[in-house]
């Protein structure tokens, strides 16, 4: 991503963040929202904070499995924490670019094309998980699903079907690895342009990123850690409303989690400003909770998300012997990390 494109994205995202937050908070009674925050149970807030941190660790272990353990576990956890941290500072999934770039350097490294195809599988797993969660929400909540959430599910459902077909097709090609490899390398040997572009090596690296799809062991591990990530996230999304509403139900929490997940799935705001609050307000007010108190839960959820992501991200920077300037250069195509980066840990 070029520096100018990212800078434009930051400005646009900042404006969108301000606009979305304005829409959510324009009629808020700030005194009532502040009073609601002061009534929240600290123990429940602490539980939510811990669960969100554990969810990030579980997602790092999921990425580790999808990579077939090509990186040391500590590096997989560090780079995932770094990616989520950067995604909460910069727009357009810049953290994912940083993770791909830094994984390609060091003694233990993975080619960019491999981590890119792993990212595709990772996103598809998230989409499929959201579809399953939405079905559970409908079963539990009945007709209380806000129409905005239903519309988002329809759009994402279409993307999920398309993505599933694409990945299954690629997985089929990966299953016939030797045959497809001979085909691509044969074409490369006959067509000079393909050879100059290094299509054969690129194809091999892409197939490597899909290898987990055809491995019961690694795909099973990835799905297990995906399950753990969503379970601990659900606990967090139950704990935070329960900090203010002792009678909050699992159905309320499930709807809130689904609404927020869809709200932040399109990375157009910085640090999901306004998106998280809007998703919480949409879900909780649909269940009959007061607007100001729902907004207070949204603010606290946002804080309980930013804090562990920031702390774990800064720890990852230190463990990987990186700086924010190095991360910026890696994202914008400036100075690349040194071959030793990340291996000091």
CA–chain centroid gap for 126, Å, is 8
The percent of residues above 70 in pLDDT, for the chain, comes to 90
Where does residue 322 fall: left (phi above 0), alpha (psi -120 to 50 degrees), or beta otherwise?
beta
**Residues sharing a CB contact under 8 Å with residue 191, sequence separation 6 or more, in sequence order:** none
Number of domains in the chain: 1
**Residues sharing a CB contact under 8 Å with residue 228, sequence separation 6 or more, in sequence order:** 58
* 246/237 Cα distance (integer angstroms): 13
Query: What backbone phi and psi angles, to 5 degrees, belong to 71?
Result: -100, 150
**Residues sharing a CB contact under 8 Å with residue 35, sequence separation 6 or more, in sequence order:** none
Q: Is residue 128 part of a domain?
A: yes
Nearest residue to 320 via CA among 340, 334, 292, 297:
340
Q: Is residue 343 part of a domain?
A: no
Q: Is residue 141 part of a domain?
A: yes
Model confidence at 345: pLDDT above 50: no
Q: Is residue 233 part of a domain?
A: yes
Q: Is residue 179 part of a domain?
A: yes
User: Mean pLDDT for the chain?
Assistant: 86
Residue 181: domain span: 3-332
Element (H, E) at 207: helix 199-209
Q: What pLDDT, on a 0 to 100 scale, did the predictor assign at position 340?
A: 47
Q: What pLDDT, on a 0 to 100 scale, did the predictor assign at position 339?
A: 47
Q: Render pLDDT for 124-180 as a digit per residue (tens, 0 to 9).
A: 888 888 888 888 887 776 656 677 676 766 776 677 677 777 777 767 776 777 777
* 89/114 Cα distance (integer angstroms): 25
Model confidence at 316: pLDDT above 90: yes
DSSP assignment, residue 270? G
* 166/159 Cα distance (integer angstroms): 10
**Packed helices 250-264 and 216-242: angle between N→C axes, nearest 10 degrees:** 110
Query: What backbone phi and psi angles, to 5 degrees, belong to 267?
Result: -80, 70
Model confidence at 301: pLDDT above 50: yes
Q: Render pLDDT for 17-43 as a digit per residue (tens, 0 to 9).
A: 888 888 888 888 999 999 999 999 999
Q: What is the mean pLDDT of residues 246-268?
A: 85
Nearest residue to 85 via CA among 302, 311, 292:
311
Q: Render pLDDT for 323-334 as a digit per residue (tens, 0 to 9).
A: 989 998 888 876
Q: Is residue 203 part of a domain?
A: yes
Q: Is residue 338 part of a domain?
A: no
Q: Is residue 344 part of a domain?
A: no
Is the full-model pTM beyond 0.75? Answer: yes
Q: Render pLDDT for 263-272 as a digit per residue (tens, 0 to 9).
A: 887 777 888 8
């Amino acid at each position: 991503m070029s520096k100018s494109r990212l800078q434009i994205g930051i400005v646009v995202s900042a404006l969108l963040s301000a606009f979305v937050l304005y829409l959510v908070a324009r009629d808020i009674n700030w005194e009532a929202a502040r009073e609601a925050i002061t009534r929240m149970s600290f123990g429940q807030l602490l539980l939510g904070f811990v669960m969100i941190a554990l969810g990030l660790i579980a997602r790092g272990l999921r990425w580790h499995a999808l990579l077939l353990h090509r990186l040391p576990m500590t590096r997989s956890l560090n780079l995932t924490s770094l990616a989520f941290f950067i995604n909460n500072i910069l727009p357009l999934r810049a953290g994912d670019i940083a993770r791909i770039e830094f994984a390609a350097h060091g003694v233990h490294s993975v080619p960019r094309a491999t981590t890119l195809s792993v990212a595709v599988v990772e996103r598809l797993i998230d989409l499929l998980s959201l579809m399953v969660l939405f079905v559970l929400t409908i079963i539990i909540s009945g007709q209380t699903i806000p129409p905005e959430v239903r519309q988002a599910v329809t759009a994402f459902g279409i993307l999920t079907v398309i993505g599933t077909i694409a990945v299954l097709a690629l997985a089929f090609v990966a299953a016939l690895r030797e045959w497809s490899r001979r085909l691509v390398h044969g074409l490369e040997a006959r067509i000079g342009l393909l050879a100059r572009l290094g299509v054969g090596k690129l194809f091999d690296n892409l197939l490597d990123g899909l290898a987990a799809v055809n491995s019961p062991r690694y795909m099973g591990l990835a799905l297990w850690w995906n399950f753990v990530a969503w379970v601990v996230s659900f606990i967090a999304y139950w704990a935070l409303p329960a900090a203010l509403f002792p009678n909050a139900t699992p159905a309320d929490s499930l709807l809130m989690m689904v609404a927020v997940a869809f709200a932040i799935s399109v990375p157009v705001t910085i640090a999901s400003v306004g998106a998280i609050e809007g998703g919480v307000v949409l879900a909780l007010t649909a269940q009959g909770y007061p607007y100001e108190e729902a907004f207070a839960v949204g603010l606290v959820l946002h804080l309980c998300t930013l804090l562990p992501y920031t702390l774990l991200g800064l720890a990852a920077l230190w463990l990987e012997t990186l700086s924010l300037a190095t991360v910026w250069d890696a994202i914008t195509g400036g100075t690349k990390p040194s071959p030793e980066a990340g291996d000091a840990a």
